[in-house]
């Protein structure tokens, strides 16, 4: 997906989804400069949404945030359909993806970059190379960057970036040795206000 395309996604939903890492926090952010939908009718404002439209928007946002397909998201929903707290169970699946954990640990500045890092075999889970972005990590797992990969340009200035970086409470990070560990469980608050998971559950439960 092109950079401009990711910017259009944020403009379309009217919120920052932080798909481009540091750029999203700068004045270069397209939503900051053009806070209206893309296209010739954009500046006229955003139309009100029906309940279905809201649910659909939240589903799309969740897909964009985690970089997953419609099939993947539906499969996750089917896995949690019989759970009492479906929203929390769905969030668990999404947050425990290896690419997301790499991003949450600060090893990558965006989930897209995290997927590339995992794809290219730079990540070890419990000392074993795992190159599947959707791999589900679990409590107690240790995630680290391969020693032979640390010197690559992909991780240039990573130690400087991590100095002021704070990981979520369900993860721990050894910044000196570039090792992370899953020590708890994520909460709904971990996704912040970027997407309402309950609305996604309502969409698939129709």
60: CATH: 1.10.1050.10
Q: Do both 105 and 176 map to the same domain? A: yes
Are 111 and 166 members of one domain? yes
Q: Bridge-partner residues for 182, per DSSP? A: 171
Give yes or no: residues 104 and 147 share one domain: yes
Q: Are residues 43 and 57 in the same domain?
A: no
**Residue 135 structural domain:** 98-182
Task: Let me know whether 80 and 156 are in one domain.
Answer: no
Q: What is the pLDDT of residue 73?
A: 96
Do 28 and 82 belong together in one domain?
Answer: no
Residue 76 and residue 90 share a domain? yes
Q: Are residues 107 and 138 in the same domain?
A: yes
What pLDDT shows up at residue 48? Answer: 73
43 and 56 in a common domain: no
Q: What is the phi/psi pair of residue 195, to 5°? A: -155, 145
Domains of the chain: total: 3
Please tell me whether residues 108 and 147 are part of one structural domain. yes
Is 73 in the same domain as 54? yes
Residues 81 and 54 grouped into a single domain: yes
Q: Which helix (H) or strand (E) holds 65?
A: helix 51-66
CA distance 60 to 68: 10
Tell me if 180 sits within 8 A of 174, measured CB to CB: yes
Q: What is the pTM of this model?
A: 0.77
**Could you read off the pLDDT tens digit of each residue along the chain, which spans 206 residues?**
544 565 565 555 666 565 665 665 566 665 556 665 665 555 555 567 899 999 999 999 999 999 999 999 999 999 999 999 999 999 999 999 999 999 999 999 999 999 999 999 999 999 999 999 999 999 999 999 999 999 888 898 898 999 999 999 999 999 999 999 999 999 877 766 667 899 999 999 98
Q: Does residue 171 contact residue 141 with C-beta atoms inside 8 Å? A: no
> Which pLDDT value is given to residue 33?
61
What CATH code is carried by the domain that includes residue 132?
3.10.290.10
């Amino acid at each position: 997906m092109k950079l401009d395309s990711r910017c259009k996604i944020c403009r379309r939903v009217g919120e920052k989804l932080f798909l481009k890492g540091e750029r999203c926090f700068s004045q270069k952010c397209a939503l900051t400069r053009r806070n209206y939908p893309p296209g010739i009718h954009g500046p006229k404002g955003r139309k009100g949404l029906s309940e279905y439209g809201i649910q659909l928007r939240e589903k799309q946002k969740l897909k964009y945030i985690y970089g997953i397909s419609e099939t993947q998201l539906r499969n996750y929903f089917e896995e949690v359909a019989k759970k009492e707290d479906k929203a929390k169970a769905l969030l668990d699946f999404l947050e425990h993806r290896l690419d997301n954990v790499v991003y949450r640990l600060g090893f990558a500045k965006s989930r897209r970059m995290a997927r590339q890092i995992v794809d290219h075999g730079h990540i070890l889970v419990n000392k074993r190379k795992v190159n599947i972005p959707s791999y589900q990590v679990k409590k107690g797992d240790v995630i680290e960057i391969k020693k032979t990969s640390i010197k690559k340009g992909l991780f240039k200035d990573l130690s400087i970036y991590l100095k002021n970086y704070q990981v979520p409470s369900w993860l721990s990070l050894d910044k000196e040795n570039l090792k992370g560990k899953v020590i708890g469980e994520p909460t709904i608050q971990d996704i912040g206000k970027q997407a309402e998971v309950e609305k996604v559950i309502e969409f698939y439960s129709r």
